[in-house]
Amino acid sequence: MGYILSEKIAILTSGGDAAGMNPAVKSAADYAGKNGMTPYLVEWGLRGLIEGWIKEAKPEGLSGMLYRGGTALGSSRSKRFFEYEFRKQAFDNLQKLGISKLIIIGGDGSFNALNQFYVDFNVPFAGIPATIDNDISGTDYCLGVDTALNMIRSSVDSIRDTASSFSRAFVIETMGRDCGYLAMVSALANGAEVCLVPEIKYDLDAVGERLRKERAAGKRYILGIVAEGTGMAEPLTRWMGEFLDMDARLTVLGHVQRGGSPTVYDRIMAYKFAVAAVDHLLAGETNRVVTFKNGRFGSSSIHQISDVKHECEAGLLDLVRGLSC
């Protein structure tokens, strides 16, 4: 009587790091194991597939992951993976270990890379969206966003204290090259007077008149939150100092937004995304990205994700528009 060998699945993180990646890795490995699969971990993302940096997931390697920010596996953006010879090398590494399925945690660039890998070698994969910009089409939420928003909130709370003490204007730049989600939600949550994002046309003349009236009515300080993609952080700071005749300062939050222990929400969402990813693969679905839309988990094809331009929720844009003019 022969033995039934368990199916092997490898998990990797790729692209920009985001809080929630580690809980997703741990949850995917644990859930896959409970469902009769043998989980493996790929270190350093797509580069790790090429180099063969793949090891079986062990309890001691997974313990302690849940509360850690970033990605314990490491990440990379590998241009070599877009060359066939290196994808073939990655495939050979998987073949040697008998790995037949993949879960990748990252953004649409990572999903596109594995989709090409699937086209070449028919290795099924499931994608879990993780980016603090929250700019992946087809899903309302990406892992890491809630933790990033809480990091921003904490920073803005501290800045507000000193702004109030010295009657200053502060401009705070958040991440968000093409999508201003972090800036918009942070502006609303922190009571900012100004918010500039790529999605909304701004009118500084109108903003200036509004702020002058607020200053005349006794407003002690001004907070402006700007998405990096606008390129307006430094110009807005200078403008506030000159137009409002205030001491104006700029704070660029930078990579602090990517760090920090994942919030409860990101940990729970990581678990749910991971379970859904494993379930989709067990059901025979291929090259799908797990999505969270209108409060429900589902999945979309890679083409539905990458071929459709991401658009912010109209209601959020409407709420913020008044801070841009």
Catalytic residues: 133
Single-letter residue type at 181 = Y
- At residue 66, the 3 state secondary structure works out as coil
3-class DSSP state for residue 87? helix
Q: What is 228-295 written as a DSSP string?
A: GGG--HHHHHHHHHHHTTS-EEEEE-GGGGG-SPPPHHHHHHHHHHHHHHHHHHHTT--SEEEEEETT
Strand 125-129: give its sheet, edge to edge: 54-56, 38-42, 8-13, 99-106, 125-129, 288-293, 296-301
DSSP state of 79: G
Residues 6+ apart with CB under 8 A from 182: 132, 133, 134, 145, 148, 149, 152, 174, 175, 176, 227, 257
